[in-house]
Amino acid sequence: MKVLVATKETQGRRANDFCFAGINDLVRMPIECSSGYIDDPCGCHRSWTSTLNNKYTTTCKVIEDAAMTPEKLCAALAGGSGAQPEEMRAAAAYLSEVAGRFAVGTIIERRGKEFAERVAGVYGRGQRLGAVLRHLKSKRARI
């Protein structure tokens, strides 16, 4: 079945990319802050967490893992966390649904609840900086 693993491929295409997860680590959705925004310094709204080292990545790769099953994915996601089986089944189903939307080998990024293929050449630093400045300006305007 298709699964999502951490990758450093296309890292840097966004100025605020990071990948502290191990390469090819199976990932899960992170625990997210209740506030903040996608490009904030925290990064929880644009990343996944490695199931192995609990570190974050903003880029994932869709791979076909012939040995993976929904049950194994649940076990990997639980990783001794003591999470309820019901929650893990839902988390595993969600992750495989996301992986299933893309072709094997696709590098994807996450923008909140949106997932998208990383396409070459569309993430200029200027664009990013512009977005940050607009955000800061709008914040300042509210103070």
Taking the least distance from each CB to Zn ion, the nearer of 101 and 139 is 139
Q: Applying CB under 5 A, which residues contact Zn ion?
A: 33, 36, 42, 44
CB 117 within 8 A of CB 107: yes
DSSP annotation string for 12-39? TSSTT--B-SPTT-BEEPPP--SS--TT
Shortest Å distance, C-beta 45 to Zn ion: 6
Shortest Å distance, C-beta 114 to Zn ion: 17
Q: What is the DSSP letter of 42?
A: S
Taking the least distance from each CB to Zn ion, the nearer of 44 and 91 is 44
Sheet with 27-28: list strands edge to edge.
27-28, 48-50, 56-57
Shortest Å distance, C-beta 41 to Zn ion: 9
Number of neighbouring beta carbons within 10 Å of residue 69: 11
Taking the least distance from each CB to Zn ion, the nearer of 31 and 66 is 31
Shortest Å distance, C-beta 55 to Zn ion: 14
Taking the least distance from each CB to Zn ion, the nearer of 21 and 62 is 21
